[in-house]
Amino acid sequence: MKKILMGLLVVFVGLSAASQKLSIKNLVGRWETSDGAGLEIIDSSRIFVTYGNERKPILTYEADFSKSPYWFDFVVKDSAQQVSKMKSLLLLEGNDVLKWQVFEDGNRHSDFVTDRGDMVVLRRKK
């Protein structure tokens, strides 16, 4: 019985440590929808939002990888050079699929919702 409990403890500690290691570094790369919109994460200080022919730098961001889905809030300038603060959710599925939902009204839900905000599925480009 003690061996089983010790084994379970080791598994839970291992899973906890693995989940805590997720960071923006795990998302480095170019992530796109089928029409080319998406995120380009070069490193923790250079992140871009792409849509159409536009590539906008994210000025600042805050990410909380302890939540599931992850909270990813960012500031970007729009086409009129107005600063927009956006709240969003991210969820990495495997290594190459990223769900992203942006809530433009600033009210983030704790989970993905179909009736609020734009939800896209991004694929990592090689």
The string of pLDDT tens digits covering residues 72-104 is 999 998 777 888 899 999 999 999 999 999 987
Q: For the chain, what percent of residues have pLDDT higher than 90? A: 59
Mean residue pLDDT across the chain: 84
Answer whether residue 7 shows pLDDT above 60.
no
pLDDT at 56 exceeding the cut of 90: yes
Distance CA 60, CA 37 (A): 20
Q: Are 119 and 98 in contact (CB under 8 A)?
A: no
pLDDT confidence of residue 115 = 80
* 83 vs 81: CA distance, rounded Å: 6
Residues 76, 61, 87, 70: is their CA dihedral positive or negative? Answer: positive
State the pLDDT at residue 125. Answer: 93
Domains annotated for the chain, with CATH where assigned, are 24-125 (2.40.128)
Q: What are the tokens at 95?
A: 């290594």
CA quadruple 69, 19, 37, 107: dihedral sign: positive
User: Which range among 6-15, 25-34, 62-71, 76-85 shows the weakest confidence by mean pLDDT?
Assistant: 6-15
